[in-house]
Amino acid sequence: MKVAVVGATGLVGTEMLTVLAARNFPVTELIPVASERSKGKEIEFKGKKYKVVTPSEAIALRPDVALFSAGGDTSKEFAPKFAEAGITVIDNSSAWRMDPTKKLVVPEVNGDVLSAEDKIIANPNCSTIQMVVALKPLHDKYKIKRVVVSTYQSVTGTGVKAVNQLMDERAGKDGEKAYPYQIDLNVIPHIDVFQENGYTKEEMKMILETNKIMRDDSIKVTATTVRIPVMGGHSESLNIEFENDFDLNDVRAALAAQSGCIVVDDPASLQYPMPKDAHGRDEVFVGRIRRDESQPNTLNMWVVADNLRKGAATNAVQVAELLAEKGLI
Residues that constitute the known binding site for phosphate: 97
Residues 27, 174: Cα–Cα separation, whole Å? 42
Residues 17, 314: Cα–Cα separation, whole Å? 10
Amino acid, single-letter form, for residue 194: F
SS3 (DSSP) at 307:
coil
> What residues are designated binding site?
9-12, 37-38, 97, 153, 227, 307
> Which residue out of 139, 234, 261, 279 is catalytically annotated?
234
| Per-residue CA distances from 270 to 60, 266, 273, 287, 288 (Å) | 54, 6, 10, 11, 10
State yes or no: is 139 an active-site residue: no
Work out the angle at residue 202's Cα, subtended by the Cα atoms of residues 199 and 207, and round it to the nearest 5 degrees: 75
User: Residue 67 CB: number of other CB atoms within 10 A?
Assistant: 31
Rg of the chain (C-alpha set): 20
Q: Please provide the size of the chain in residues.
A: 329
> What residues are designated binding site for NADP(+)?
9-12, 37-38, 307
Residues 310, 156: Cα–Cα separation, whole Å? 13
> Which residue out of 126, 139, 261, 279 is catalytically annotated?
126
Residues that are catalytic: 126, 234
